[in-house]
Structure 1
Amino acid sequence: MKIGCSKLVLFFCFALIHLLIPTASQRPLIRCYNTGNYTSNSTYRENLDSLLTTMFNNSKIDYGFYNLSAGESPDKVYLIALCRGDNSPSECRSCINGSRYELLKACPYQKEAIIWGETCSLRYSYRSIFNIMEASTVTYRINGANFSDVEAFNSVLRPLLDSLRNRATSGNSTHKFALQSAPAPNFKTIYSLAECTPDLSELDCNSCLQRVQSIIPQCCDGRQGAKFVTPSCDLRYELYPFYDSSAEPPPLSPPPPPLVPSESPPPDLPITTPGMALTCLRT
């Protein structure tokens, strides 16, 4: 009897731990830059705290993008926050509020830092970061195992991501965001999302997403899911819905079958831009 009770208690302990610990895909990605530090009682920290408070309390911005600055050089702080395009204003503020505490805890004295949460990102710096495309460093997280038929999986994924990129880049100054699902082999569905900070030009947004997409053949070919983030854009695909599917546009039309079956292999995908830094967080 005692053994049975111990096993029961142990089961509930493991169940509780599973509920309390976030899954790998939910844990935020954080980068602390080694480009300068500040002290806890400095003017820079005062400006940073002021910006974070102002942003959180700003109810007039309801489209999920903040680009604010405060102070004067050399203590001026620039801040960008971006919420996923399918988030409500309340969900956005909640994500940003949690992210600011996590970021300050992880990077307590760095003048430049960024956090990518599940549905939002937050970034601040001592230098101007507005209207500037930055994608020289790509951080990615691989989810799931390999798809059984890699070629068939890629034949769906490639055009899906191309379509997302085109739709995201054609957005406006408040939204550069697209999501879409498509049927995949073996009765699966690929869910995907692409987003740029809306202050980027159409050309820069396209360039950022192209750089990210180009590393897939090298890091994640055939993997069932992956998430890629840079300071200026992000890209993600999974075999499970990670967003509200009601926000999707009408489904994509399947490509017409070729008139003559081709035996040639699929064309090579672009390779990573020379000099690009990659950071992989495997799960």
Structure 2
Amino acid sequence: MKELDKAAAGQFTLPLIYETVQRSSPATIKLDFARSSCPDAGNNSTLPNSTYWKNLETLLSTVSSDPQLINYGFYNLSAGEGTDRVNSVAVCIGDISMDMCRICVKESSKKILTVCPNEKAGIVWYDQCLLRYSGSSGNYDWGMKSIFNGNKASSDPDRFVEAVKSLMGRLREEAASGNRTRKLGKGEISVGNETVYGLVQCIPDMSSRDCDRCVGEGSVLISEARMGARIFRGGCVLRYENYTFFNPTPNNGFPSSSPLPTPGTYWYPTSCTSGEFERDVGPRFDHVIGQTRGLIWSSI
């Protein structure tokens, strides 16, 4: 984790890695906001003119103004001291271009101040990145948020669920075995005439054990034959769909253990026309509330 103080805020940079970026015009860049969370909201507040809040604003504004901070598709920074110390983490999800990665982090740094005003901890998830801040580092047990596709597998749902679990288990191992610059697993599996695509990613500076645990606990929500799901945690994300939502090869703006191919364009299909529903799961998984568009329900 890097230390950032106010005096050095405009001068801080991470070591550079080489980068070949496929430029995208602003018209082609579309960010998909997913969920947000303000842990212990109302009981862990701060004042807008407090030293803590000013440190947070300094931290996020520095990230927004210095694009080199996100060269690895990831940063872990802090500002301030003692009880006024703020830690912020951001990671770009999947194999998006470096341009989109930086734009997502910049937008997230603005969004998080509006969804968690005057709170000492907050996290926002986009399909393209996550950004979080708190007064401590290394704690990723922030419960879970999720969005499920409203469609169910029409034939042999039990087989579908087992196939999805098998895929996510394989990707879980792949992500956990990553290094401190990237912990990502992605792949596909055939289920009858269907192909399911999956992605699992952890914050890179998590230990392999913590990454494995984070994904494993998130996987408990995969219990119904839904055709797609996005599961968000403080330290990891899981996603599977019955359509391709990631590039088949890694983008060469990020480190890779293999030769880096020519980058492709990251494509995000429109939302499923049948609708989606959401679940919020607390840290102990003892309270689940789901919400469809136009319908409130509870389960588990």
Report if the CA contact (8 A) 1:40-1:109 is conserved: yes
Task: Kindly state the Cα deviation for residue 143 of structure 1 after the two structures are TM-superposed.
Answer: 1.0
Corresponding residue for 1:194?
A: 200
Corresponding residue for 1:240?
A: 243
Corresponding residue for 2:49?
A: 41
Distance 1:273 1:58 in 2: 34
Residue of 167, 185, 193 corresponding to 2:192: 185
TM-score, length-normalised on structure 2? 0.70
Aligned ranges for residues 1-283 of structure 1 at < 5 Å?
26-33=32-39, 34=41, 35-56=43-64, 57-59=66-68, 61-126=70-135, 128-130=136-138, 132-134=139-141, 137-149=143-155, 150-186=157-193, 188-217=194-223, 221-247=224-250, 275-277=284-286, 278=288, 280-282=290-292
Distance 1:147 1:124 in 2: 38
The 1:273/1:107 distance shift into structure 2, 3 A limit, reads closer
SS in 2 for 1:74: helix
Report if the CA contact (8 A) 2:79-2:87 is conserved: yes
Q: Deviations over 1:134-183 (max 9, x none)?
A: 25x12111113110120231242122111100100000011111111222
Report if the CA contact (8 A) 2:32-2:128 is conserved: no
Report if the CA contact (8 A) 2:141-2:234 is conserved: yes
Matched residue type, 1:77: V
Structure 1, unmatched stretches of 5+, are 1-22, 250-271
SS in 2 for 1:92: helix
Shift >6 Å, 4+ stretches = none
Distance 2:289 2:204 in 1: 24
Distance 2:109 2:71 in 1: 18
SS in 2 for 1:166: helix
Greater fraction helix: 1
Report if the CA contact (8 A) 1:111-1:125 is conserved: yes
Distance 1:86 1:281 in 2: 30
Distance 2:134 2:283 in 1: 26
Task: Kindly state the Cα deviation for residue 46 of structure 1 after the two structures are TM-superposed.
Answer: 1.6
Task: Kindly state the Cα deviation for residue 61 of structure 1 after the two structures are TM-superposed.
Answer: 4.0
SS in 1 for 2:59: helix
Task: Kindly state the Cα deviation for residue 73 of structure 1 after the two structures are TM-superposed.
Answer: 1.8
Distance 1:113 1:39 in 2: 15
How many correspondences in the alignment?
Answer: 231
Matched residue type, 2:44: G
The 1:49/1:60 distance shift into structure 2, 3 A limit, reads closer
TM-score, length-normalised on structure 1? 0.74
Distance 1:171 1:98 in 2: 27
Task: Kindly state the Cα deviation for residue 54 of structure 1 after the two structures are TM-superposed.
Answer: 2.2
Moved more, 35-44 or 87-96: 35-44
Corresponding residue for 1:16?
A: none
Matched residue type, 1:129: S
The 1:76/1:274 distance shift into structure 2, 3 A limit, reads closer
Distance 1:274 1:42 in 2: 29
Q: Deviations over 1:33-65 (max 9, x none)?
A: 224222222222221111112223141542211
The 1:44/1:275 distance shift into structure 2, 3 A limit, reads closer
Matched residue type, 1:44: Y
The 1:236/1:280 distance shift into structure 2, 3 A limit, reads farther
Report if the CA contact (8 A) 1:225-1:236 is conserved: yes
RMSD: 2.5
Distance 1:189 1:83 in 2: 25
Q: Report which of the two structures shows the higher radius of gyration computed on alpha carbons.
A: 1
Matched residue type, 1:233: C
Q: Report sequence identity in percent.
A: 35
Distance 1:273 1:80 in 2: 21
